[in-house]
Structure 1
Amino acid sequence: MNQTFHKINEDITSYIKNLEEKYQHDSSQITEMAIQFISGRLEYVKEKFESIPDISAEDEIFYFKNIKCHLLALLQYYYMVQKIEIKKPAIPLRKIKKYYLKALYRIKSKISDNHFFYNYYKTNSNKLDQQFFRRLKNDFFLPNADMIIDIDKRYTTPSVSIFAKVEALEMTRHYLKKKIKSFTRSSTIIQEKKSKLKWTASKADLIESIYALHSSGVFNNGKADLKEIAEYFQEVFDLDLGQYNRVFFDIRARKNNKTKFLDSLKDSLVKRIKDTDSEIFP
């Protein structure tokens, strides 16, 4: 049972690491694929557990406490992260930081509401494992908001969902603290570099430039995603580009000179080079 747990943990850790390296700041892609993968691992261990004819009390407790709880917690964690990131404001950084701080406050409040189970989880206590992680003889009913959920005793225990929730909340708390720290650092760097420069061309021209830079892969060895680049320029120039993907659609729909702004930049630079050459070599 221990070997199964460690193997699954290694598989998930390796898979998530590869996802984060591949998709970088695309949290929607990371969370969606992580949820699918973990769901598959959960089904696998459930089938493996059910195939054991006479499982010992020790293994039963280990399975529900360390394997099933952990996998359910990971699922809940990625669902929570997905929800948090979907609702996150685009700009400016101070609003994003404030948003994360509010989310962190809500998570801490939920942890406080479950302080007994949280302390049991954090201290890795085993005093009540027999009550928490052994299956009951009969099915039981769990009240949940406006409905009653029928829990099948063959596949879970009364406390699995509670401890999974607590672990998920703790992981989300760490995620938000890390985010807040990174945004605080980014905000400081940007504030230090801010000048009186203002973007005075049109927003469409800036969007055309952003798409060109992203297409050329000039940031982070081509790994920076479009949203990250757009957010950076919006913060630097204190602009709201709105639905820049819609503007790009309009750029694509141009009948003539689709890269109008970039072409004008090229023409201006070529003219400057020629003018400079003529001054040096009259």
Structure 2
Amino acid sequence: MKYSINTIVSEIRRKEDKLSLETEHLLEEAYQMIQYLKDLLHSNRELVINEGFANSMDEIDFFRNIKPYILGKLIYYNKVFRIETICPVRRGKMYHKFFLGQLQDLKQEFKEHICGSYFYRYYRSGRSDRDEEYFIRGKINYRDGLNSYVFEIDDQFSTYYDSKAARIVANELLYTYLVSKISPDDTPASLFHDADSIKDIFWTDSKNALIELIYALHAAGVISHGKIGIRKITLVFQILFRVQLGDIHHAFHRMKERSGAKTSFLDSLKFSLEQYMEKGV
């Protein structure tokens, strides 16, 4: 059977988008995504065991790209669920300090267990010369001095290194999540190539107006061909305008309960543009 990373990514993102609209809190969304991804991982395991692969290239693609994406997302949502269940009350110094600590822990884990490894450099550089060693089942080289959990892996559905790739995926997702929880004033400027050039740009309308705009752009799929999630788009706007939007899903649900026009800001943009065009500017 031929597996497609694009199909898997699209399927997961559709589920994320659906849940982001249906659930009011990230905690509930994370829980439901955990259940969904567990089932998806299990169904893929059944397919791999029962149908196998047409050739080694398909096997490499699955264990280098597809399984790490699913497992990485599962690790990410499980961590988010754990964090959200213990985080302090919204906002305030305690809240801020908590997420700074979580971010510091993530950076330390990355430094100790990921970035210094040969595999990380191999994987991130896009090399493929050792793919048959890393992403074909049954080719584990114990002379490399592997971690002890290698003896616990499912050799029918693991290559040892696919789990390492999943950790890289999860780490990057968690970094984005934690940064979005911290005040934009403390967001690393490195997320923009030239932070000084945007320091005089700020949002002057209400936060709800910006959230309305973000959801409209996401729904229209006009940013990165619709291939990135609502949280990443939100993070970019928070950094660009140095504004903390808080729980955007809850705000969006409140918008849906508005009486009268539910897209008041977008309606005002349309009116403003029409007026601008009539002036012939």
TM-score range, shorter chain: 0.5 to 0.7
Tell me the residue number matched to 2:66: 67
Instruction: In structure 1, list runs of 5 or more residues that go unmatched.
Output: 190-216, 224-282
Tell me the residue number matched to 1:220: 255
Q: What are the residue-to-residue correspondences of 1:1-282 with 2, within 5 Å?
A: 4-24=4-24, 26-53=25-52, 55-113=54-112, 114-115=114-115, 116=117, 117-136=119-138, 143-144=148-149, 149-181=151-183, 219-222=254-257
CA distance in 2, matches of 1:155, 1:46: 6
CA distance in 2, matches of 1:161, 1:218: 37
Local SS of the residue matching 2:102: helix
Change (3 A) 1:53 1:39: closer
Local SS of the residue matching 2:167: helix
CA distance in 2, matches of 1:47, 1:103: 36
CA distance in 2, matches of 1:178, 1:41: 27
CA distance in 1, matches of 2:33, 2:253: 28
Q: Deviations over 1:236-257 (max 9, x none)?
A: xxxxxxxxxxxxxxxxxxxxxx
Using the TM superposition, give the Cα deviation of residue 143 of structure 1 relative to its aligned residue in structure 2, in angstroms: 1.4
Change (3 A) 1:53 1:108: closer
CA distance in 2, matches of 1:94, 1:32: 27
CA distance in 1, matches of 2:42, 2:182: 34
Count of aligned positions: 190
8 Å CA contact retained: 2:63, 2:135: yes
Change (3 A) 1:177 1:55: same
Q: Deviations over 1:62-111 (max 9, x none)?
A: 01111111111111000111111111100443321221111111111111
Instruction: In structure 2, list runs of 5 or more residues that go unmatched.
Output: 188-202, 204-251, 259-281
Local SS of the residue matching 1:126: coil
CA distance in 2, matches of 1:158, 1:120: 15
8 Å CA contact retained: 1:97, 1:184: no
8 Å CA contact retained: 2:140, 2:160: no
Structure 2 letter corresponding to 1:17: D
8 Å CA contact retained: 1:97, 1:180: yes
Q: Which of the pair has more CA radius of gyration? A: 1
Using the TM superposition, give the Cα deviation of residue 184 of structure 1 relative to its aligned residue in structure 2, in angstroms: 7.0
CA distance in 2, matches of 1:81, 1:102: 14
CA distance in 2, matches of 1:73, 1:54: 22
Using the TM superposition, give the Cα deviation of residue 50 of structure 1 relative to its aligned residue in structure 2, in angstroms: 2.3
Compute the TM-score of the two structures, normalised by the length of structure 1.
0.59
CA distance in 1, matches of 2:124, 2:131: 14
Change (3 A) 1:16 1:219: closer
CA distance in 2, matches of 1:181, 1:105: 15
Using the TM superposition, give the Cα deviation of residue 152 of structure 1 relative to its aligned residue in structure 2, in angstroms: 3.4
Change (3 A) 1:184 1:222: farther
Using the TM superposition, give the Cα deviation of residue 46 of structure 1 relative to its aligned residue in structure 2, in angstroms: 1.8
Structure 2 letter corresponding to 1:156: S
Tell me the C-alpha RMSD between the 2 structures: 3.2
Change (3 A) 1:96 1:2: farther
Local SS of the residue matching 1:51: helix
Using the TM superposition, give the Cα deviation of residue 2 of structure 1 relative to its aligned residue in structure 2, in angstroms: 6.5
8 Å CA contact retained: 1:19, 1:30: yes
8 Å CA contact retained: 1:101, 1:180: yes
